[in-house]
Amino acid sequence: MELPEKRIPDQYFLENLSEEQMDGLMAQGIHLVDSALQYQELMMMYNCAIREVRTKLEVLNADLSVRYQRNPIEFISCRLKKPMSLFQKLQKKNLPFSLSAVEKNINDVAGIRVICSFIDDIYAVAAMLTEQDDITLLETKDYIKNPKPNGYRSLHLIVELPVFFSDQKKNMRVEVQIRTIAMDFWASLEHQLKYKKSVKNEELIVRELTECAEDIASIDQRMLAIRNTIDENAESPNTEESLREKLERFNIPSL
């Protein structure tokens, strides 16, 4: 005896829709796919903007390395904000979750973190980047001179630059955070602790973290002072030492 064919619920549901209902369902599906593709395209554009800014920073670092035998930038990291972060940020602004709202109202969709050795390197790198003629500085938040209440320190820049795509040129915004190794160490640990479960004596922990931030800031200043003292007291090389130094610097960069 042949058993009747088992019907898949979704198939049964679709077969019993009217033509008008089917058209509406298809329209919703197309809208969802179009929205997903548009979101993917927008994120691709932000990712390309990150690449443009990162390349500029790497070029500056390479230039300074050859000219002055010193790299002010230790390393660079990049990120794109996740959909949930974008949604939460728009909610706080009482704005709808749409791609146009993201583009117009969120400046830090694309982010670059630049880690420098010394505090003065932070301001030097920021100046060299923002002085380039295709970079527009939209906003500066200096949390080094004016730390946040919890002790957070970093220099934040919102920059805009043109990015060329296959069919258009589009001005894209990128947030650039520049900080020292010590500042980044504190910020990373503070971020991890902040997202732990609720704990007892939270006020004590916040106070301890703030004091640690002050200690780290003091170390940054002391390290800068030590470097400046070394530079000021370094003896000028004689002719032979100068030639040896230049020969050691002579190195064809690899591609």
Residue of 19, 175, 190, 214 marked catalytic: 175
Find the length of the chain. Answer: 255
The answer for 250, left when phi > 0, alpha when psi is -120 to 50, beta otherwise, is beta
Residue 171: alpha-carbon gap to chain centroid: 17
Instruction: Identify which of 230, 249, 236 has the alpha carbon closest to the alpha carbon of residue 66.
Output: 249
Report d(CA 224, CA 226) in Å as an integer. Answer: 5
Helices (H), 93-201: 99-105, 119-130, 181-194
Report d(CA 126, CA 117) in Å as an integer. Answer: 14
Report d(CA 162, CA 255) in Å as an integer. Answer: 26
Structure-block tokens of residue 17: 């829709």
User: In DSSP terms, which residues pair with 177 in a beta bridge?
Assistant: 113, 156
Edge-to-edge strand ranges of the sheet holding 136-142: 73-80, 110-116, 169-180, 155-164, 136-142
Report d(CA 152, CA 188) in Å as an integer. Answer: 10
Q: Is 175 a catalytic residue?
A: yes
Residue 131 phi, psi dihedral angles, 5° rounding: -80, -10
Q: How far apart are the first and last CA of the chain?
A: 74
Structure-block tokens of residue 138: 């939209």
Catalytically active residues are 175
